[in-house]
Amino acid sequence: MPGNPWFSWSYVVDNAPLLWQRTVEHAGLTIEAVAISAAIAIPLGALISRSRWLSGPVLGAVAVAYTVPSLALFAILAPLLGIGRTPVLVGLVVYALLIILRNTVAGLATVDPAVIDAARGLGYGPGRLLVQVAMPSALPSIIAGLRLATVSTVALVTVGVVVGYGGLGQLMFQGFRNNFYRAEIMTATLATILLALLLDLVLWAAGRALTPWLRRRTA
């Protein structure tokens, strides 16, 4: 009876193509979900932060959806959207939405009113004001939201295994059913954590490049 080590390089080497395929699926699903969420949440955030009457109910409704556990949401979506990638993607978008929306609204709320006043005095219209003044000021908060959404999405993708599309989660569950193949579960878990850290690092670097004025201020 061969041992069941917690980690083995030979597993990683022998299964490199499969590991790579699952990692690419995992990363692709994460990036797509966060991109769709951002495309909805950032304009929506800009819109609802104009009035408290709008932002309260919208944030509340999204927060209710966020309270539903991922497993339950995938289980509800799967029979309606079919087994596979779509229910996972839709579920992930819902979860990322709240995080990005909340940070967009919070970021826009902290824009210095004096700056807004000055821009208005210079003759900026509402559209230019939003794009050229308010958004850049809110950018650090929005980027923080994108990073948080990305890291939690990477972890959530694994739950997609319940509807047959969990990226690296497939390997975790396969290893579990395969007589507790520890090396497989461990490798997939570590790969998930590494992917989260890697994507976080990329977004951190992008955020740094997009907000050069923050560095100048602290220097």
Partner 1 sequence: MTAPTGVVDQALVWLNDPLTWTEPGGVLDLTAEHLLMTAAAVAAAAAVAIPVGAWLGHSGQGAGLVVWLTNASRAMPTLGIILLLAAGGLFGNTATVIAAAFFAVPVLLVNTYEGVRGADPDARDAARGMGMSGGRILLQVELPLATTLVAAGLRTTIVQVVATIPLAALAGGGGLGQIIAFGMGTQRYGEVLAGGVLVAALCLAIDAVLAVGQRLATPAPLRASAG
Q: How far is the CB of 216 from partner 1 (least distance, A)?
A: 25
Q: What is the DSSP letter of 122?
A: T
Nearer Cβ to partner 1 (32/200):
200
State the residues that interact with partner 1 by CB under 8 A. Answer: 4, 64, 67-76, 78-80, 148, 151-152, 154-155, 158-159, 161-162, 166, 168-169, 172-173, 175-176, 180-182, 185-186, 188-189, 192-193, 196-197, 200
Closest CA to 199 of 165, 127, 149, 124: 149
Q: How far is the CB of 181 from partner 1 (least distance, A)?
A: 8
Q: How far is the CB of 10 from partner 1 (least distance, A)?
A: 18
Contact 98, 66 (CB under 8 A): yes
SS3 category, 88: helix
Q: How far is the CB of 133 from partner 1 (least distance, A)?
A: 27
Question: Going by C-beta distance under 8 Å and a sequence separation of 6 or more, which residues neighbour residue 77?
Answer: 86, 87, 90, 91, 163
Question: Going by C-beta distance under 8 Å and a sequence separation of 6 or more, which residues neighbour residue 161?
Answer: 169, 170, 172, 173
Nearer Cβ to partner 1 (130/153):
153
Tokens at 131, concatenated: 């794009």
Nearer Cβ to partner 1 (133/152):
152
Nearer Cβ to partner 1 (43/79):
79
Contact 166, 70 (CB under 8 A): no
Per residue, the 3-state secondary structure of 142-199, as one string, reads HHHHHHHHHHHHHHHHHHHHHHCCCCHHHHHHHHHHCCCCHHHHHHHHHHHHHHHHHH
Q: How far is the CB of 79 from partner 1 (least distance, A)?
A: 4
Nearer Cβ to partner 1 (135/186):
186
Nearer Cβ to partner 1 (82/126):
82
Q: How far is the CB of 100 from partner 1 (least distance, A)?
A: 15
